[in-house]
Amino acid sequence: MPLLNKGGRPQYIPWGSQDLQNLITTLPDIQEGAAIWIRKLEEEMTGKTMALGDVKALLTKVVGKEQMLDLIESAGYRGADKSTVDGRIFDQYRQKIWDSLRKAYPTRLSTAMLKGVAMKEEESAAAFVENQLRN
């Protein structure tokens, strides 16, 4: 459960297991790429204030506790295993943790994503693929 305002102050209330499971079922497989997974999570959480504990719980369910701790530590944050940090607003950690997640789970390229457009003679293969994925 995201941070809730109680008495004018944000209060961290951990997700219930069913709430967390319901959220996980709406998210794509992280193995297909963290960028897609993050985008969908951010859509689902629009208008809500996530706490670091929310993201820790979610990542623990999705990738396991050890991988979650490794991801947060590789983002430059120590002490993620301590519950004392769980109530902190996630915004201050968002960019580095998402970057760490994208690095660990890069987007898988699929030929199904390519459109039937011919490559120009002067275009490199890498530029062609990049243009097709962008459009």
Q: What is the pLDDT along the chain (135 residues), one digit of tens a residue?
A: 567 776 777 788 888 888 999 999 999 999 999 999 999 999 999 988 899 999 999 999 999 999 999 999 999 998 888 999 999 999 999 999 999 999 999 998 766 665 677 888 888 988 888 887 877
CA–CA distance, 2 with 55 (Å, rounded to integer): 10
Q: How many CB atoms lie within 10 A of CB 23?
A: 19
54 with 98, same domain?
A: yes
- Whether residue 70 sits in one domain with residue 117: no
Is 96 in the same domain as 134?
no
Provide the β-strand partners of residue 115: none
Count of structural domains within the chain: 2
Task: Report the SS3 class of residue 51.
Answer: strand
Instruction: Compute the distance between CA of residue 135 and CA of residue 122 in angstroms, rounded to an integer.
Output: 19
Structural domain boundaries, residue 37: 4-104
What single DSSP character describes residue 3?
B
Whole-number Å distance between alpha carbons of 77 and 115: 41
